[in-house]
Chain A
Amino acid sequence: MYTQSLNEPSSRPVEALDDAERLARFQARIDAEEKIEPKDWMPDAYRQTLIRQISQHAHSEIVGMLPEGNWISRAPSLMRKSILIAKVQDEGGHGAYLYSAAETLGVSRAELIEQLLSGRAKYSSIFNYPTPTWADTAAIGWLVDGAAIMNQIPLCRCSYGPYARAMVRVCKEESFHQRQGYHAMLSLARGTPSQRRMAQDALNRWWWPALMMFGPPDTASHHTGLSVKWKIKRFTNDELRQKFVDFTVPQAEFLGLTVPDPVLRKGDDGHYITGALDWSEFNAVLKGNGPCNAERLRERRTAHDDGAWVREAAIAHAAKRSARAVA
């Protein structure tokens, strides 16, 4: 709702407050756990950080529809197919909630889509891995949505109101995603030997990429400092990753599957200690050299181009109808 009003030139005299004072007031509001709303004053760096983070998040939801969408037509039963369609539709919805939240910061939807399609914007590197078997959709729900939930729950308390509210809506739906994934994984794990092999193979391929979803280690992360101060981020990458590992390893054990980490062990403090993550792979995928980067963008561009006539026709139809209503 706020996009237009933000773009309007202000009719009032420039406020007498200088930036330092406004910044201090802004930080005091954040420290008091007040939410910042679209028309409130905010430092430009806060606005830019949020636009970047929320739009990347939105792009991830949209691109994330592709790897699983790959299996809708070949789901093993009508029930699994209905579930998968509902899940993929939810992801499209998450993208829409998040684009709307980003737009309250004064950026247009068309601009954001253009950034994605031109390849300038980033999205979660996890979606650049392929889904060659049915077990991949199960592993994605369990591990990828599971990691996403870890990241997203603290964002429900993010200092920016529209983002926090969008995340509350998203998190309510994510729980279904993770549970349906684990349920599908459980069916495979309790199935025939070849189904078990398929489940293990999917875990082997998704485990490390899922751990990398939390982003670079704290020692190498550039964005964490200010984001923590501004309460956009509440936990560090490593803290969230640790929590995910602690939750997930026992779930894998229950499935009777082996986490593909030969040095994984439980520490004296009850937390699991994993082997080293291969960040060179993460960076390569992020830079565009993952197995499916080119394919994902190509598919998004095709979908966007194929839909152009629909968008134009709908506008023409709406214009005709409103002209008729006036006449």
Chain B
Amino acid sequence: MSQTQDWPLFEIFVRAKSGLDHKHVGSLHAADAAMAIEHARDLYTRREEGVSLWVVKSSDIVASDPRDSDALFTPAADKIYRHPTFYDIPKEVETL
């Protein structure tokens, strides 16, 4: 049994239809980006799930660390004045 190394891992993003963002759907192994597109077509769009594909080498993705989540994301929670609902406007003022 020959024990070859895995092909590189690619992350796959599919645009379901024009007008929508590309959305992450999963990953697959391919020798290069061109093959990743071909495999992604077979693996993630067998039932017209998409009209466009992005493939990105997984090792090229830089992700935030879950341990930084508090520092990165919770400060927004006490800035409720950023939301329109924070402001009480008299009823008489319309279309605001």
Once the chains bind, are A1 and B9 in contact (CB under 8 Å)?
A: yes
With the chains together, A109 CA to B46 CA distance in Å? 23
The tally of residues in B whose CB lies under 8 Å from a CB in A reads 29
Note all chain B residues with C-beta closer than 8 A to A117: 1
With the chains together, A90 CA to B32 CA distance in Å? 23
Q: Is B28 located at the chain interface by the 8 A CB criterion?
A: yes
Interface residues on A, range: 35 or more
Once the chains bind, are A305 and B2 in contact (CB under 8 Å)?
A: yes
- Known pairs A39-B65, A93-B46, A103-B9; A318 contacts B1 (CB<8 A): no
B interface with A by C-beta (< 8 Å): 1-7, 9, 11, 24-29, 31-32, 35, 42-43, 46-47, 58-59, 61, 63, 65-67
Note all chain A residues with C-beta closer than 8 A to B43: 93, 96-97
Q: Is A47 located at the chain interface by the 8 A CB criterion?
A: no
With the chains together, A314 CA to B32 CA distance in Å? 8
Once the chains bind, are B6 and A109 in contact (CB under 8 Å)?
A: yes
Annotate A32-71 by CB proximity to B: 1 below 8 A, 0 otherwise.
0000010111000000000000000000000000000000
- Known pairs A93-B46, A100-B26, A109-B29; A15 contacts B6 (CB<8 A): no
Note all chain A residues with C-beta closer than 8 A to B66: 37, 39-41
Output the residue of A89, A96, A114 with the most chain B CB within 10 A. A96
Note all chain B residues with C-beta closer than 8 A to A311: 4, 7, 31
Q: Is A221 located at the chain interface by the 8 A CB criterion?
A: no
25 A–B pairs (Cβ distance < 8 Å), ordered by A: A1-B27, A2-B58, A5-B63, A12-B67, A39-B65, A40-B66, A41-B66, A89-B42, A89-B46, A90-B46, A93-B46, A97-B43, A100-B26, A100-B27, A109-B29, A110-B6, A114-B1, A114-B3, A169-B25, A173-B47, A304-B1, A308-B2, A314-B35, A315-B7, A322-B32
Once the chains bind, are A3 and B9 in contact (CB under 8 Å)?
A: yes
Which residues, 268 to 327 on A, are CB-close (under 8 Å) to B? 301, 304-305, 308, 311-312, 314-315, 317-318, 321-322
Note all chain A residues with C-beta closer than 8 A to B31: 311, 314-315, 317-318
Note all chain B residues with C-beta closer than 8 A to A86: 46
Note all chain B residues with C-beta closer than 8 A to A322: 32
- Known pairs A1-B9, A93-B46, A117-B1; A100 contacts B58 (CB<8 A): no
CB A111 to nearest CB in B, in angstroms, measures 9
